[in-house]
Amino acid sequence: MSELTFEGVSVRFGGRRHGLTAVDGVDLTVPGGSVVGLVGESGSGKSTLARAAVGLAPLHAGRILLDGEPVRRGRRSRPALQMVFQDPYSSLDPRMTIGDSIAEATPRRGPARRAEVTRLLDLVGLGADRARAYPGQLSGGQCQRVALARALAGDPRVLIADEITSALDVSIQGAVLNLVREVQRELRLSLLFISHDLAVVRYVSDFIAVMYLGRIVEYGPAEAVLTDPSHPYTRELLAAVSEPVSTGEADPALRAVADVEPADPHAPPPGCRFHPRCPVGPAVLDGRDLCRESEPVPQGHRHLAACHFAAGR
């Protein structure tokens, strides 16, 4: 089992004047054999963090380690760390059969290759006869299974799954989630599971990390984060999950911040980045000037939160 570690990772896009820091000093560990769910709203930097791990986004600062060693880019690093993306069709070549697509990703050669393709198809719940099909003949869910088989072809130790069910029909999302969780357990993979949807993340995760505007604002065992969230932003995400239909009688504090524009990542607010929207921050409560003045650092033991007034502090 392998551990994936992000140490002070920052990713910047664009120049010094008009650029933005999409990921800003992230420390995060995916312990060996466990699932870390990474959740946060659109634009918070989840995909950028993942892409940095596989060399698709430039590291501005920090290190990304696999069992204490820097993740190597290029061909040799492929098997150890693999990523599955959101759009199952675009990750497969439409002119290649499923079998060829998977075969291409395995390091095996000769007759062993065909057996390996069958094994991988079976692992993701597809029959061997699917090997002759083209992506256009498969459903989105089946394509995503093939993308998973391809990612597993090099026997990775760590898998990153970025919104892998978001493009799928709701009716098949559960089956794909179950499959990912089964495969993760069976192969004892370490999995960084990314979704903007906390309902999806809570279903698969051992640990949950919450990201807001490029930073991790809360991290802890899934159970603790879900039942006893420390950060106001996490509480907001949870409230959105448990109350899918608005009753029109929202907490007055929540209503007070509901109209605030999402923060501009080119110019994050000073102090706590969440302060203009925070339902218990300076926009709502007196005596919380600290939130505007100083940026909270993650604190806690196993369960961390970056908030000056985190629950229990």
Binding site for ligand ATP (CB under 6 A): 13, 20, 22, 40, 42-48, 163, 196, 265
**Nearer to ligand SF4 by C-beta: 193 or 274?**
274
First to last CA, the chain: 35
Instruction: Verify binding: residue 296, ligand SF4, rule CB under 6 A.
Output: yes
CA distance 27 to 39: 15
> Contact with ligand SF4 (CB under 6 A): which of 230, 232, 236, 237?
232
CB of 46 closer than 8 Å to CB of 40:
yes
Single residue of 34, 44, 47, 195 touching Mg ion by CB under 5 A: 47
Closest by CA position to 164, among listed 184, 141, 186, 182: 141
**Nearest to ligand ATP of 39, 66 (CB atom):** 39
List the structure tokens of 173: 């999302």
Q: Of these partners, ligand ATP, Mg ion, ligand SF4, none, which one is at the site of residue 296 (CB under 5 to 8 Å by kind)?
A: ligand SF4
Q: Where are the beta strands (DSSP E) in the chain?
A: 4-13, 20-30, 35-39, 61-66, 69-70, 81-84, 158-162, 190-195, 207-212, 215-221, 304-305
**50 touches ligand SF4 by CB under 6 A:** no
Q: Phi/psi of residue 185, each to 5°? A: -70, -45
The nearest distance, CB 184 to ligand ATP, in angstroms, is 21
- Picked from ligand SF4, ligand ATP, Mg ion, none, the partner binding residue 40 (CB below 5 to 8 A depending on kind) is ligand ATP
DSSP 69-88: EEPPPSGGGTTTEEEE-S-T
Binding residue for ligand SF4, selected from 291, 300, 301, 304, defined by CB under 6 A: 291
- Say which entry of ligand SF4, ligand ATP, Mg ion, none residue 135 contacts (CB below 5 to 8 A, set by partner kind): none
